Structure 1
Amino acid sequence: MSAEETLILVKPDGVARGLTGEILRRVESKGYRLVDIRLVTADRSLLAEHYAEHEGKPFFEPLLEFMSSGPIVAIRAEGNRVIEGFRALAGATDPTVALPGTIRGDLGRDWGLKVQQNLVHGSDSSLSAERELKLWFS
């Protein structure tokens, strides 16, 4: 089978808590290849384009505010079924119910804020991965 690529983001909360290395370790331990890594301070236009499908929703502005609150580590990862595999590795969006053994289940928690700070993002489909990788690695 041919390898696919995905975008993984270590969000500002993960970077601020010093979890980037642990997250990268888990990605590599799963057998995925890190193709490119960048430390990025994302501006509003990049974030608005990345999260365009959420525009108009009540959490859109708090999400952009959170994602622009500090550095983000953008990762281009490659591997067989890496999109599906990383999303399983990341765990449920809500860290409170994310299973132990997942990134969010082991390292995340609900901080009671306006927007869920859940450490990582992973593309949800091959179409999303293609679009998101162009945004973050143009």
Structure 2
Amino acid sequence: MDPALFPRIRVERTLALIKPDAIHKSEEIEDIILRNGFSILQKRNVQMTPEQCSDFYAEHYGKLNFPSLTAYMSSGPTIALTLARDNAVAHWKSIIGPAKITKTQIECLRTKYGTSDLQNALHGSESFQAAAREIKFMFPNTLIEAFPTKEETEEYLGRYVKETLLQGLTELCKNKPLNPCVWLADWLIKNNPNGPQICNEAFVQEAK
């Protein structure tokens, strides 16, 4: 199978927080999120206690700004969002920009909506592992599955997809329909080898 037919797209999830100082701009920020190719899978308004903030920002424990951070994050409502797209963690971090706001900083969401290093408007997970923990913290009922390895993906495609898809693409080239995507989707549904089989009517009557 030609690898070009299946570009490697790593779909990830990351956690975004619209902090208390920017919550009045939440609709505008969510519109920017969607225009940057993200899907918003989950959303909730939360009012964290200082104790919950301490748990969420546990890796900052012992730093000079830790008391101010927990006090600020528990000072008002926050909007938690689970975002998804290819390379979601890195892409969201690049859009919001560095935690520290400077006058010479390139345009990013934190410089646009934030007012200081503490009140910098938005949060983004630092890594895939951090995203998994933070999403679970904000959305406790979420099930985050591990990504399959390259070998597991290739094995699955070879076992369940490759043969049927190649047959469908061959038929597509023969028929040359006006809407190839719809035609191929319909063909795959009709020729799915793992789909339910319709029993012969006489056999059903005999079984009764």
Q: Specify if TM > 0.5.
A: yes
CA-to-aligned-CA distance 1:11-67 (integer Å, 9 cap, x gap): 11111xx11112111111101000011010012232111111111111111100000
User: Which residue matches 1:53?
Assistant: 59
> Are 2:19 and 2:79, in contact at CA under 8 Å, matched by a contact in 1?
yes
Higher RCO by CA contacts (8 Å cutoff, separation 6 or greater):
1
Greater per-residue helix proportion:
2
Aligned residues: 131
The amino acid across from 1:137 in the alignment is F
Taking only the aligned residue pairs, the percentage that are identical comes to: 31
Aligned-residue Cα RMSD (Å) equals 1.3
Where in structure 2 are there 5+ consecutive unaligned residues?
A: 1-8, 141-208
Shift of 1:109: 2.7
User: Separation in 2 of the partners of 1:109 and 1:45?
Assistant: 25
1:117 is matched by which residue type in structure 2?
Q
1:106 CA drift (Å): 2.1
| C-alpha distance in structure 1 between counterparts of 2:49 and 2:69, whole Å | 13
Q: Amino acid of the residue matched to residue 3 of structure 1?
A: V
Q: Alignment partner of 1:19: what SS?
A: helix
Q: Residue 96 of structure 1 contacts residue 109 of structure 1 at CA under 8 Å; is this kept in 2? A: no
Q: CA deviation at 1:73?
A: 0.2
Q: Does 1:74 align with 2:76?
A: no
> What is the alpha-carbon distance in structure 2 between the residues aligned to residue 23 and residue 4 of structure 1?
20
Where is the strand percentage greater, Structure 1 or Structure 2?
1
Structure 2 residue identity aligned to 1:135: F
Matched, 1:32 2:32: no
Code of the residue aligned with 2:125 in structure 1: it is: S
TM, length-normalised to structure 2: 0.60
Task: Give runs of ≥4 in structure 1 deviating > 4 Å.
Answer: none
Corresponding residue for residue 99 of structure 1: 106
Contact 1:96 1:108 in 2 (8 A): no
In the alignment, structure 1 segments of 5+ residues that lack a partner are none
CA distance in 1 between counterparts of 2:127 and 2:133 reads 10
CA distance in 1 between counterparts of 2:106 and 2:90 reads 16
